[in-house]
Amino acid sequence: MKKRYLIAPGPTPVPIEVLSEGIIDIPHHRSEEFVQFAGEVFEKLKYLFQTKNKVFTFASSGTGAMESAVSNLLSPGDKAIVLVSGKFGERWNEICQAFNVETVVLESEWGDTVPLERIEKAIDENPDAKVLLTTHSETSTGTVIDLKAIGEMTKDKDIVLVTDAISSLLAQELRMDEWNIDVVVSASQKGVMLPPGLGFITMNEKAWNLVENSSSPRYYFDLRTYAKKYPESPYTPAINLIFQLKKAVEMIEEEGIEKIWERHRILADAVRAGVRSLKLELLSKKPGNVCTAVKVPNGVDGLEFVRRLRRKYGVTVAGGQGKLKGKIFRIAHLGYMGSFDVIIALSSVEMCLKEMGYDVDLGVSVKTAEEIFLKEGVV
Ligand code: PMP
């Protein structure tokens, strides 16, 4: 027997109370009872996004929700400004290319963010750009952008601000309406504590005007169809996941969104301090509360390290993606996680690094994290 611990930034662990809600005699999705039930659950989703706007739910992963944003907001030949600081910023750009949308790409080093002045300058220089595509938490580098400041910048401009909150939702403070974020996309398998399979998109009036006018090809993700039928789904919804979603949202309501943001902040602080106490370096210049990206120390094979952690220790952290493959590992503090997930992560990292030749004083990072939890609270 090998006990397994999932400490990756998605999919994340699912509470047994949520999982068990999926074991049901499947109702028909066109029945009045189910449509009413789903409507009540979708209504509750507004709290997660801190919005009054309707939240549309697809049977898809997060990338489907990203694609729906591009195909509904932009037409072929339209221009979008894209912030690229990692793999998921790159994905926005790739989706735009698939839909023949012209992009102005603002790049930064992976682990950093595009400076606000550069964004402002690009908006001023490209008055024809219809949309600004951003990644709230760049999961590939563990970096968070200042979305509130960007919302402040775009609110009175003729550009629609879209953010990928696929990993940030619930882990990172996000107030869609108050911060003037026009479109937010997310997914079920991270902060929401569900299995993979639901994609979410929500938008305000400013963005909705673009949806009515887009000439991009779209069918499954045509938001006009979802809006017309809402809360009934135009196609077969992921019925069991919607039952699980109800339970997850109730747990979220019970804990309270501010407390959830704070729990993620404490977990992230403990991981960051623990990692630093091992004289390891963080990749990110603006680390967020979703996951901590740690540079693999010299002399250690990064791919083998992540593999060995999983196979021998039963601990799954994430490796590096794209150009960071083998160079970093990422410890998640996302969703259904608490203080002792951090302890397991740090303890296994210490042991595995020591085994692979890195000079570790065993217990140092665990002690550092324990001290933070005693001071800030065990969460
Ligand atoms: N964007 C971000 C920020 C993500 O973290 C992920 C998933 N790791 C995605 C997009 C892609 O989501 P999915 O795998 O659900 O399609």
C-alpha 275/C-alpha 345 separation (Å) is: 10
Q: Report the chain's terminal Cα–Cα distance, integer Å.
A: 29
Please tell me what DSSP assigns to residue 138.
Answer: E
Segment (H or E) for 71: helix 62-73
C-alpha 219/C-alpha 101 separation (Å) is: 18
Any idea what the Cα angle at residue 37 is, between residues 184 and 229, rounded to 5°?
Answer: 60
Where along the chain do its domains lie?
Answer: 16-255, 256-376
3-state secondary structure of 287: strand
- Topology of the domain comprising 256-376: Aspartate Aminotransferase, domain 1 (3.90.1150)
Q: How far is the CA of 62 from the centre of ligand 1 (A)?
A: 5
Q: Please, what is the average pLDDT of the chain?
A: 98
- For the segment 82-106, what is each residue's pLDDT rounded down to a tens digit? 999 999 999 999 999 999 999 999 9
pLDDT band at 267 (very low <50, low <70, confident <90, very high): very high
Q: Which of 166, 317, 321 to mutate to test the pocket of ligand 1 (most atoms within 8 A of CB)?
A: 166
Ligand 1 atom showing the smallest separation from residue 187 Cα: 15
Tokens in use for 304?
Answer: 């083998």
Q: How far is the CA of 60 from the centre of ligand 1 (A)?
A: 11
C-alpha 189/C-alpha 207 separation (Å) is: 26
pLDDT at site 333: 98
What average pLDDT does this structure show over 215-221?
98
pLDDT at site 52: 98
Distant-in-sequence, close-in-space partners of 18: CB < 8 Å, separation ≥ 6: 193, 194, 244, 247, 248, 251
Ligand 1 atom showing the smallest separation from residue 140 Cα: 5
pLDDT at site 304: 98
Q: Which of 93, 167, 290 to mutate to test the pocket of ligand 1 (most atoms within 8 A of CB)?
A: 167
Tokens in use for 369?
Answer: 């994290």
Nearest CA to ligand 1 atom 6: 166
Nearest CA to ligand 1 atom 12: 62
Asked if 16-255 and 256-376 have one fold, the answer is no
Q: How far is the CA of 43 from the centre of ligand 1 (A)?
A: 24
C-alpha 315/C-alpha 119 separation (Å) is: 39
Identify the CATH class of 16-255: alpha beta
Q: How far is the CA of 95 from the centre of ligand 1 (A)?
A: 13
Q: How far is the CA of 364 from the centre of ligand 1 (A)?
A: 33
Ligand 1 atom showing the smallest separation from residue 167 Cα: 5
What average pLDDT does this structure show over 259-280?
98
3-state secondary structure of 323: helix
Helix, strand and coil content of the chain, in percent to the nearest 5, comes to: 45, 15, 40
Tokens in use for 228?
Answer: 């017309």
Residues near ligand 1 (Cβ within 6 A): 10, 61-63, 88, 135, 137, 139, 164, 166-167, 187
Sign of the CA dihedral 251, 227, 216, 78? negative
Q: Which of 88, 91, 284, 290 to mutate to test the pocket of ligand 1 (most atoms within 8 A of CB)?
A: 88
pLDDT at site 313: 98
Q: How far is the CA of 88 from the centre of ligand 1 (A)?
A: 7
Q: How far is the CA of 328 from the centre of ligand 1 (A)?
A: 18
C-alpha 146/C-alpha 118 separation (Å) is: 13
Ligand 1 atom showing the smallest separation from residue 196 Cα: 15
Q: Whole-structure pTM over 0.85, yes or no?
A: yes
C-alpha 195/C-alpha 243 separation (Å) is: 12
Tokens in use for 237?
Answer: 């919804």
Nearest CA to ligand 1 atom 13: 62
pLDDT at site 238: 98
Any idea what the Cα angle at residue 54 is, between residues 50 and 55, rounded to 5°?
Answer: 75
Q: How far is the CA of 116 from the centre of ligand 1 (A)?
A: 24
Ligand 1 atom showing the smallest separation from residue 199 Cα: 15
Ligand 1 atom showing the smallest separation from residue 64 Cα: 16
Please tell me what DSSP assigns to residue 349.
Answer: H
pLDDT band at 160 (very low <50, low <70, confident <90, very high): very high
Q: How far is the CA of 63 from the centre of ligand 1 (A)?
A: 6
- For the segment 295-351, what is each residue's pLDDT rounded down to a tens digit? 999 999 999 999 999 999 999 999 999 999 999 999 999 999 999 999 999 999 999
Q: How far is the CA of 294 from the centre of ligand 1 (A)?
A: 20
- For the segment 64-83, what is each residue's pLDDT rounded down to a tens digit? 999 999 999 999 999 999 99
Q: How far is the CA of 140 from the centre of ligand 1 (A)?
A: 9
Considering the chain, what percentage of its residues have pLDDT values greater than 90? 99
